[in-house]
Each structure stands twice: as structure tokens, then as C-alpha cells.
Amino acid sequence: MSSSQKEFDLDISGVAGFFGGDVSVPAMATVHIYEGRKWLGWYNQPGSYEIAKRYGQLSNSRFWDALYPGVNVDPATLFEFDGMQGPKYTAVHSGTLMPKTGHIARLFLEAFKPLPPSETPLPDQRTASPGFVTVVNLSRCPLGTEYPRQGRDMGSSLAFFPILASVAACVLCAKFKDWYCLSMIALGMVTSGVSCYVIGMGTLTFEHPIPAPGSPPGDGLLDGETDFIVLKGPEGAVNSITRGRFALRYSSEPQYHNIGLCSILLTIQFLAQLLIVPQGTLRGQILFLGTLAFSWIYNSYLSSLDRQSIQKTILLEQVLQIRKGQIKKYKLGTRTSTVVFALLLLAPAKTRALQRVLDDLLPNDTDEWNQWKGDVLRCIEADFHESAQQFFFNFPRATNDTSPLLKTLYLDAEAGAEMYTRLGR
């Protein structure tokens, strides 16, 4: 605050351009999720400089890079529809090995963590480091490009509060004949409304590559450390998870000149408010500050929405169209029993592919571990021949010469096999 002998001056214009930008950008992401949200940005909001800087990095040309230097980002990444790193994925039929998947696989993995297991270990089975295996049977192969429907949210109607606050502030400024603050509030309303509309012109899509005809089944494993997801289904359904992504498509891509113009407009708003608001009266400045407060509260509400949860719903219900009967979750007492159970779910498959999964999940490389791994793979290979596809998991009987570790590993493997027998196949 600053004061003079003749007039008390709040001098808030400098703060207005920076304060609130951290919630304004996430709040703007809701325009692609909720129907009609892009029409509801007509209010004076704070953080114009921060918003201009972030939007300016979307525009991709020498001119825009000179005005707004920094790394150019993808719209989907800026608005958090993309950018997360997903778990490792290993396919057992196609030989695909992906050390890192993407945003969609991470959403898919996180979506099933809260799901309670339908089967748990028996009381007499060892429990050390419990693990979970979720089996998802995929049936729908999404199109190469899907267009998810926008949802409806009663919270969008709350936008009328900051809008009405800005309009009321303009009316009162006119009554007090404070044309400086009135013009700056009106400029903020226009700038915010235009920016919201332009950003909302982007279309949210889901995209993934279409596999070649005749591709083998996409069965494989997403490794979430303590949570495994076994994917079973055609390659087109599985690769929508491992290779799919959300994208925001604009008619102006790849330069995004319209978004760059919005950045300039926001920058002009910031500079104008910096120079003109201090010329207004104390009452006008208080009204200006009041519009920012209403807008900040509303933007904070929008930014607090669980956008990842909304993305999970879009992915599972609209894109993949997964139903309850396609999902089943199991809890096992140890990591070794969890890995054996996962291998059994992935079988029948080539032993080399199962060996790769086994070594990746259990990288232990000692004589006892290698002997145990060999026994596990031999049992699976013997009992999953194409004519029968039945399973009788009988390890060599332990003797006095068998090490305690190997005995424990055999018991863990039998626990995984026992869980598999509950599948009823």
C-alpha cells in the first residue's frame, strides 16, 4: 500500500497481474471437460501476466518465441491431459517391451488401485509384502481418434457469481464516476471472456495407433510395483492403453496464432491495469480488488476439481467402455506368489516371453532363484499345452538338502497357483 497527503491509494495494480495465475490456468482446463464452460469466462480475473506467459509458450513461431521465450509445450500437456509417466509394460505374444508408458497407462493403473480385491490369501499362506493383480478383459478396440462427450456440471453455474460481481463493480464505478477503474474492470472481463472462448475452441480427442491386420493378441502386464494389471484382449484394445493419449486439437495448430493473440491481449491488460488502476479513486480500487477476489475464489474451486478422476471416467466409460464383469482384482501375500499368479494368467505363451516377464519382475540371480524360476516355467509349460490348457502345479518334493529359501519360494509359488485355481478354469 502507498499513501499521500491528499488521497489514500491501494496501488494494487502490480499485484493483480501476478496473483492468482497459478489457479487460473488449471481452471481454464475445465473448458474442455464441461459443456458450455467456454462461454462463462466473462469476469475480471487476476494473474493476467502469468496466464499470458503460459499461453504464449503454446504459440509456435519465431515471433511468438521472441515475445514469450521458453520451451514450447503441447496444449494437452499445459492443461494436464498428458504428461504423466506410466508403468512398464511387457507383452507376451507380440514381444513388445515398453520401459515407460504414458499418461493413459498411468490413469488406467491408478483407476483400479481403490478397487477392493475379490479374493485374498488363505490364512495359512505366508504374508510378507502383499501384492495385487487386477485382470482386465478388454473387448472394445477404440477408433484411431475418439471424441469424448463433454459432461455437465452444476458448478459451471457458479461462474455467474464472479460475472455478476464484475458487472456490479462496473455499475458502481460508473455511479462514482471512476472511469479509470470501470474501464480496467471491463477490459479484464473482455480479455478473460475472449481467452476462455479461444482456449475452449480446442477439441479434446483420444488417439492411438491402429495395429496392423493380423497382429497377435495384446495380452501383457503393466508393472505398478505392488499393483500389477494383466491386460487381455486384442492388440487394438491393449495399445489404446499403452500407446494412447489425450490431445487437444485446434484449427490453428501447429502455430496457434489465435492463442498467441490472446497472450498479447492479456499482456496489454496487465500493462494497462498497472498504469491506470492507480489513477482511480479509493472506492474504485476496492471494487476492482473485489472482482479479483470473487474470480480467485471461483478459479480456486475449478482448479480443485479432480481432473484426473474425470479423465479416468472418460477413458473407462467412453473410450474403452469397460463394464464391471470385465474386471477382477486379487490380493496375494508375497511378491513371489503375486508374480507366479500373474504368469499363470498370461499363459499359455512362449516360455521365452514368460521368462522375460519373470526375470523382469524378480531380477534375483542366484542358484536358488534360478532353480526356482526354471521349475516354475517348466510347470507352466507342461500344464498349458495347447490340447488341454489345464494346470496341476506340482513341484519336486522338498528334501533335507533343499535350502530354506527354496522351500519358501516353492510355498509362495503354490500359493499363487492356489489363487489361480479359484478362477474356475
CA triple 335-339-340, angle to 5 deg: 120
Q: Which residues pair with 132 in a beta bridge?
A: 227, 331
12 three-class SS: coil
Sign, CA torsion 313/315/316/322 = positive
Sign, CA torsion 23/24/28/33 = positive
For residue 244, report the phi and psi dihedrals to the nearest 5 degrees. -75, 165
Q: Burial, 41: exposed, middle or buried (Cβ in 10 Å; 0-12, 13-18, 19+)?
A: buried
Please give the model's pTM, rounded to 2 decimal places: 0.88
DSSP code at position 317: I
Half-sphere exposure in the Cβ direction for 31 (13 Å, CA): 26
How far out from the chain centre does Cα 33 lie? Answer: 13
232 three-class SS: strand
* Ordered per-residue pLDDT tens for the chain, 425 residues: 444 434 545 555 555 555 666 788 888 888 998 888 899 999 999 888 888 988 888 888 888 888 888 888 899 999 999 999 999 999 998 888 899 999 999 999 999 999 999 989 988 888 888 999 999 999 999 999 999 998 877 777 889 999 999 999 999 999 999 999 999 999 999 999 999 999 999 999 999 999 988 889 999 999 998 899 999 999 999 999 999 999 999 999 989 999 999 999 999 999 998 889 989 899 999 999 999 999 999 999 998 888 899 999 999 999 999 998 899 999 999 999 999 999 999 988 888 999 999 999 999 989 889 999 998 998 888 776 554 555 566 666 666 667 888 889 988 998 998 898 887 65
Q: Do 270 and 49 contact (CB within 8 A), yes or no?
A: yes
164 three-class SS: helix
Question: Grid coordinates 458450455 are at which residue?
Answer: 36
CA triple 292-293-295, angle to 5 deg: 65
Order across the sheet with 88-91: list the strands.
97-98, 88-91, 220-224, 227-232, 131-137, 327-332
